Amino acid sequence: MNFQRTASRILSVNGVPIAIALVIVVIIFQIMSPVFLTPGSVRDYINNAIPILLLTVGVAIVIVAGGIDLSVGTVAGLSAGTTMWTLVNGAPTLVAVLTGVGTGLVFGLFNGLMITRFGINDFIVTLATLNIAGGLLIVLTEQVPLQGVTTPGFSDIVYGNVFGIPSAFWIAAIIFVLMQFFLVKTVFGRRIFAIGIAPSAANVAGVNVERVRLGTFVLSGVLAGAAGVLLASRLGSVQAFLGSGYEFIAIAGAVLGGVSLAGGRGSVWAAVAGGLMLATLQQGLRLNGVDPVYFSIVTGLCIVAGVVFDRRIQQLALSGIRKRRRTGSAPPPPDTSQEAHLLRTGKQD
């Protein structure tokens, strides 16, 4: 009885079902292909995945607030480009990192201002900046060959080791913890959920909806900038078209993790678990020699199955909680506002 209650409560936490599925998939792939969990392979694929995971988290924050950001992919590419460009011009690593993150910040600010000040739809604004950032990267790569940088310390951002663990892992982990803390423990973070659930209600409650929305786009831009820095460090060179197409992987990953496109529901862990799931699937199929022409079908199936699975599990878990409430056993206090929202409406989207 007690176990059941605990189980349903754990399962109802955003991102837990997908995390369990992720563990199962990893075990299956490890059985199918023993090289899957060798240190080299894990290191490679996590390194490949981290920039996209940062984008996934950024997009997830925007989605939680009820918006969407299509520009993250090419903005990350352009940030990688500006990072490399400052390095090629002989700047030290710190300046380059700041330039990259700053590029993301500028684009995030631009997106946010266009959306909140001019009231233009976020899909179209970020589609426009997707093109603009992609175009600027092409122009940049045509002016300067973005490669051949030997600045000490720059490649260590991804390839260095701290306590035996690759530094990219640390950077990503710190960013994720900070973001989750920010989202759950700060007033601003809670407001993001509030405007995602019901912007007008939040407005009535005194939340400056526009400012919070602007904040989410800036955050997403900064994370895209950070992703760009990591991309540049990992690749050691930057190419036109870098990052294009990443936006859809990021959005799919966030949704797979249980972030609701209707807004108001999601967490950093959920987005990371969803993004890792997509990366793991790709790596696993690759290491089993599956022709990539099958990837899009398998990924599509997985997204469908994942989202359906996530919804069903959560519904089951919540109905379990509700039933016990009716029968009078100790009601577990709703721990987040999203859960209360779910209980009230009984559906998630």
Q: Smaller CB distance to other proteins: residue 148 or 331?
A: 148
Give least dist CB 113 to other proteins, A: 12
Which residues contact residue 36 at a Cβ distance below 8 angstroms, ignoring those fewer than 6 apart?
26, 29, 30, 283, 284, 287
* Helix, coil or strand: residue 205: coil
Q: What is the largest CA-CA distance in the chain?
A: 71
Residue of 200, 296, 328, 330 that binds other proteins (CB under 8 A): 296
Confirm or reject binding of residue 291 to other proteins (CB under 8 A).
Answer: yes
Burial of 36-71, coded b for 16+ CB within 10 Å and e otherwise, reads beeeeeeeebbbbbbbbbbbbbbbbbbbbbbbbbbb
211-250: contacts with other proteins (CB under 8 A) = 235-245, 248
Confirm or reject binding of residue 127 to other proteins (CB under 8 A).
Answer: yes
Residue of 23, 178, 301, 316 that binds other proteins (CB under 8 A): 301
Residue of 216, 299, 314, 338 that binds other proteins (CB under 8 A): 299
What number of CA atoms fall less than 13 Å from residue 238's CA on the CB side? 36
Confirm or reject binding of residue 280 to other proteins (CB under 8 A).
Answer: no
State the Cα–Cα distance between residues 113 and 120, nearest whole angstrom: 10
Q: Smaller CB distance to other proteins: residue 141 or 338?
A: 141
State the Cα–Cα distance between residues 346 and 349, nearest whole angstrom: 10
Q: Smaller CB distance to other proteins: residue 27 or 35?
A: 35
Q: What is the amino acid identity at position 138?
A: I
Q: Which stretch binds other proteins (CB under 8 A): 120-128, 167-175, 199-207, 326-334?
A: 120-128
Q: Which stretch binds other proteins (CB under 8 A): 5-13, 14-22, 53-61, 302-310?
A: 302-310
Q: Smaller CB distance to other proteins: residue 201 or 304?
A: 304
Confirm or reject binding of residue 89 to other proteins (CB under 8 A).
Answer: no
* Helix, coil or strand: residue 344: helix
User: Are the C-beta atoms of residues 175 and 54 closer than 8 Å to each other?
Assistant: yes
Residue of 135, 153, 331, 346 that binds other proteins (CB under 8 A): 135
Residue 162, phi then psi, degrees to nearest 5: -125, 120
Residue of 62, 65, 125, 157 that binds other proteins (CB under 8 A): 125
Confirm or reject binding of residue 152 to other proteins (CB under 8 A).
Answer: no
Confirm or reject binding of residue 320 to other proteins (CB under 8 A).
Answer: no
Q: What is the amino acid identity at position 157?
A: I
Using CB under 8 A, count the residues that bind other proteins. 75
State the Cα–Cα distance between residues 314 and 83, nearest whole angstrom: 42
State the Cα–Cα distance between residues 235 and 230, nearest whole angstrom: 9
34-63: contacts with other proteins (CB under 8 A) = 35, 38, 40-41, 44-45, 48
Q: Smaller CB distance to other proteins: residue 172 or 238?
A: 238
Q: Which stretch binds other proteins (CB under 8 A): 1-9, 179-187, 295-303, 329-337?
A: 295-303
Residue of 23, 94, 124, 316 that binds other proteins (CB under 8 A): 124
DSSP 258: T
Give least dist CB 244 to other proteins, A: 7
User: Are the C-beta atoms of residues 254 and 59 closer than 8 Å to each other?
Assistant: yes
* Helix, coil or strand: residue 237: strand
Q: Which stretch binds other proteins (CB under 8 A): 114-122, 161-169, 185-193, 318-326?
A: 114-122
* Helix, coil or strand: residue 147: strand
Q: Smaller CB distance to other proteins: residue 52 or 179?
A: 52
Q: Which two tokens stand for residue 349?
A: 């989207």
Which residues contact residue 122 at a Cβ distance below 8 angstroms, ignoring those fewer than 6 apart?
62, 67, 68, 69, 111, 115, 217
Confirm or reject binding of residue 121 to other proteins (CB under 8 A).
Answer: yes
Q: Smaller CB distance to other proteins: residue 56 or 129?
A: 129
